[in-house]
Amino acid sequence: MSANPRDMLPRDKHDTDRARAIVELGYPAVRSVLPELLGWLKDINWPVAKVLQPFLAKIGAPLASEVRNVLSSNDGLWKLWVISEVVAQSRELAAELLADLERLAERPTNDEKTEEVDVVARDVLTQLGQS
């Protein structure tokens, strides 16, 4: 398999071999495909998501920009998974996203309320001692 991370991206939600191979490359080698990797967390129950989640959570603060892109999307469920499964697992990343988490906790959109994004954002803020 190629060492180019773009060539190694999972092809479907069951492609755990490719997911494991891309995790083996490590960070920062996969920096260019972080948006695609976060895309696999749209449903944490997908087998690929189970492989990628711990890896993404360990990246920490360097992931902040890409997570902000997720948090500015219109996909409340994706936001829920990224906050609960990645941001909540990295104090460093959560601290970088403090203002974003405060906005989600205090002024959620209707979709964010429906998906309980505000609840998980408050939980992370509590972990940070910010509530």
| pTM value > 0.85 | yes
Second CATH level (architecture) for the domain 5-127 = Alpha Horseshoe (1.25)
Query: Would you list the DSSP string of 72-88?
Result: TSS-HHHHHHHHHHTGG
Q: Locate the domains of the chain by residue range.
A: 5-127
Closest by CA position to 101, among listed 75, 128, 78: 128
Per-residue pLDDT tens digits for 9-55: 999 999 999 999 999 999 999 999 999 999 999 999 999 999 999 99
Give the C-alpha separation, 124 to 131, whole Å. Answer: 9
Per-residue pLDDT tens digits for 89-128: 999 999 999 999 999 999 999 999 999 999 999 999 999 9
Helices and strands of the chain, counted as H and E runs: 9, 0
